[in-house]
Structure 1
Amino acid sequence: MTAAPETRRPAGRPRTAVLSHERILAAAFELADVRGADFTLAALARRLDVRPSALHHYFAGKDELIAGMRGQLTARIGDHGFDALPWHEAIVPWARAYRATFGAHPGIIAALATLPVADEPESMVDYERIAAAMRRDGYPEHRIVPALVAIESFVIGSALDSLAPEDNLRPTSNIAIAPTLSAAELAARAHAAAAGRSAAEETFEFGLAALLAGLLAAAQTPAAAAPAEPR
């Protein structure tokens, strides 16, 4: 009996590109890193060598795609022990991971920060974890969301600041116009170097500690217990 001839895959690229959520998101990050958040689905399709209609089998539109990008980044941030640690301790490694993860993709930060979270599951789970820890630890319920937004706003700003030059605030053309600022900027960079950190890292750590101290203190004041009565 003669054996059937072996079927071989034709040489060269497959006629139909193999798509997946992961492959599309990876390409979207690559594109956003180069072009920012204003890239189009048509440009993404060209990068993946597929028709734009193929992307709609996975994402209904660009907003849904960006939500998926946010979800993937949020999943990379991790838990950091909110179930076991006081919220203000667990939030420190969370904020560091958030800054590093989002800072790796600066082109998409603005879109990620302004798009409503809606029902994007990874982000909702992350926020729920933090909110539950804050309520468990007795943080005033009506202050939980404002506190969380304040922390996130600071972290996102710090992620962008990490991309700026180390001496971003140093006067260059005319130091005489701002001698106090010039001296303070030099002192800040020297202090960061002595601590083995970049100026951006030292600024982030100082700002995060100050913000958390303020949020904890504000929770203990009578004004935090209930909204002020309108006059």
Structure 2
Amino acid sequence: MPAVSAAQGRSTSNGGAPRRRAGRPSAAVLDKAGITTAALELVGRKGYDGLTMAALARVLDVAPSALYNHVASKQDVLLLVEDHLMSLVDVSGFEGGSWEDAVHTWAWSYRDVFAEHTPLIPVIAVLPVTDAPQTLAMYETVSKGFSDAGFPQERIIPAIVALESFIFGSAYDVTAPEDIFDSGSMAGSTPYFTAAVQSSSGAPRESSSHPEAGHRDHGRQADTAFQLGLDALVSGLAALRR
């Protein structure tokens, strides 16, 4: 059959090494999990702007048409990425124990997940959660935890958004250089700020009472700041409970 012979000829034209033919690959070769992994790798190397359907197809070594058999658009890819990242956030604390400890565990885990994927924060932070099962499952667990703790229903989402705003900003802070507040040659003209920076850098770190904080390196300024802010937020939000 001439068509088969021609395909075989193309597959061995590169020094005898077999090449994948264009078209829809088998499910074992291309699936949503593989697309998600490739998308995260691409964003990690080239940033969010580097995530295009054409670039993703190249990373996966498939024709763009094969990719479109699994995802209809870049928006679909982002939903897969969002769902994957949210599935990594630890919500187990809301299944038992105190609300305060549950929020601390959730927030530390949430921050750590996105500290590894900061280029995606501006996108994920405003991406609708519609039809994202893992993301919705995470929010359902957290919302139930807030409700069980006595939060008025109308305050639950604003409280979660307030925490998320702090978490996303803190995820960026993890990647900041330790000397980000160095005044340099302007130290003499900024004595209060410079003294505060030096004091925070040299002072022993206070330990938090919640379990999750004990697993972090509290010599890092980013962790100390996150701990301080999270304790304050949790304390303030607790006042909204019935």
Shared fold per TM-score greater than 0.5:
yes
Aligned: 1:47 with 2:59: yes
Aligned: 1:35 with 2:35: no
Residue of structure 2 aligned with 1:20, choices 31, 37, 48: 31
Report deviation, 1:87: 2.5
Q: Distance in 1 between matches of 2:169 and 2:36?
A: 24
Residue of structure 2 aligned with 1:190, choices 196, 202, 213: 202
- In structure 2, stretches of 5+ residues that fail to align are 1-11, 208-217
Aligned residues: 211
Q: Distance in 1 between matches of 2:37 and 2:132?
A: 18
Report deviation, 1:78: 2.8
Q: Distance in 1 between matches of 2:205 and 2:94?
A: 32
Q: Distance in 2 between matches of 1:129 and 1:203?
A: 27
8 Å contact from structure 2 (residues 90, 106) kept in 1: yes
Q: Distance in 1 between matches of 2:174 and 2:151?
A: 31
Report deviation, 1:13: 4.5
Residue of structure 1 aligned with 2:99, choices 87, 107, 112: 87
Q: Distance in 1 between matches of 2:182 and 2:205?
A: 16
22-31 or 10-19, larger mean C-alpha shift: 10-19
- In structure 1, stretches of 5+ residues that fail to align are 1-9, 226-231
Matches of residues 71-150 of structure 1 in structure 2 within 5 Å? 71-150=83-162
Q: What does residue 213 of structure 2 align with?
A: none
TM-score, normalised to structure 1's length?
0.84
**What letter corresponds to residue 89 of structure 1 in structure 2?**
D
Q: Distance in 1 between matches of 2:33 and 2:185?
A: 48
Q: Distance in 2 between matches of 1:13 and 1:148?
A: 52
Q: What does residue 79 of structure 2 align with?
A: 67
Q: What does residue 203 of structure 1 align with?
A: 225
8 Å contact from structure 1 (residues 28, 44) kept in 2: yes
Query: Which consecutive aligned stretches of 4+ in structure 1 deviate over 2 angstroms post-superposition?
Result: 10-14, 78-81, 85-88, 191-197
TM-score, normalised to structure 2's length?
0.81
Secondary structure of 2:184's aligned partner: coil
Q: Distance in 2 between matches of 1:24 and 1:41?
A: 10
Q: Deviations over 1:171-228 (max 9, x none)?
A: 12311221111111111122366874200011111111011111112x15xxxx8xxx
**What letter corresponds to residue 21 of structure 1 in structure 2?**
K
64-73 or 165-174, larger mean C-alpha shift: 165-174
Q: Distance in 1 between matches of 2:142 and 2:205?
A: 33
Q: CA 1:192–1:205 in structure 2 vs 1: closer, same or farther (change >3 Å)?
A: farther
Q: Distance in 2 between matches of 1:64 and 1:173?
A: 49
8 Å contact from structure 2 (residues 83, 135) kept in 1: yes
8 Å contact from structure 1 (residues 79, 94) kept in 2: yes
